[in-house]
């Protein structure tokens, strides 16, 4: 210890800091061990039109940056894509498409699961601690025929008969 602390006061401070750090780690481990998380819908871009399918581009889905911002989808974030026209469902990651362009480009092998003009639903999910589930609000983005945002909601309505 002499190489770390040149005085008894410094040694006491070091011990106090170390004790607090260990207590914080124990508290964190206890809290996370007993916390249940649920996977909830975080973001959805509803019924966007596929503008490009690029089989020989690196895998992923390029999404107009305006839509990514509106839906709170980050570059490289895992996304689920559901093709309304053919029923295909697949998982990939988001990359930025030209801002304001309306671009939705399905790339790589996923390009075999969509055609230009297909309607897609793009969704992402988050792990939410049980105590925050009731207050969680997803970003639900609705678009027009040019893939431009026309509405933002935070709740899926109850389905009625």
Q: Name the residues annotated as catalytic.
A: 60, 93
Question: Side by side, which strands form the sheet with 119-129?
Answer: 52-54, 104-107, 60-64, 89-97, 78-83, 119-129, 37-49, 139-143, 149-153
Looking at residue 132, what DSSP letter applies? G
Rounded distance, CA 34 to CA 28, Å?
10
Question: What is the H or E stretch that residue 159 is in?
Answer: none
Q: List b or e across 141-154, with b for residues whose CB sees 16 or more CB atoms inside 10 angstroms.
A: bebeeebebeeeee
| β-bridge mates for residue 120, sequence order | 48, 83
Rounded distance, CA 44 to CA 53, Å?
20
């Amino acid at each position: 210890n002499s190489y770390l602390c040149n005085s008894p006061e410094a040694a006491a401070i070091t011990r106090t800091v170390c004790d607090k750090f260990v207590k914080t780690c124990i508290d964190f481990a206890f809290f996370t061990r007993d916390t249940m998380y649920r996977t909830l819908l975080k973001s959805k871009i509803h019924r966007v039109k596929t503008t490009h399918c690029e089989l020989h581009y690196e895998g992923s889905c390029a999404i107009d940056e305006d839509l990514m911002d509106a839906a709170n989808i980050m570059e490289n974030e895992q996304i689920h894509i559901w093709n309304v026209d053919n029923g295909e469902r697949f998982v990939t990651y988001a990359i930025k498409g030209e801002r304001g362009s309306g671009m939705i480009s399905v790339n790589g092998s996923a390009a075999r699961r969509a055609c230009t003009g297909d309607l897609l639903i793009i969704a992402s999910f988050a792990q939410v601690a049980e105590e925050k589930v009731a207050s969680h609000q997803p970003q639900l983005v609705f678009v027009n025929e040019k893939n431009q945002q026309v509405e933002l909601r935070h709740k899926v309505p109850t389905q009625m008969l």
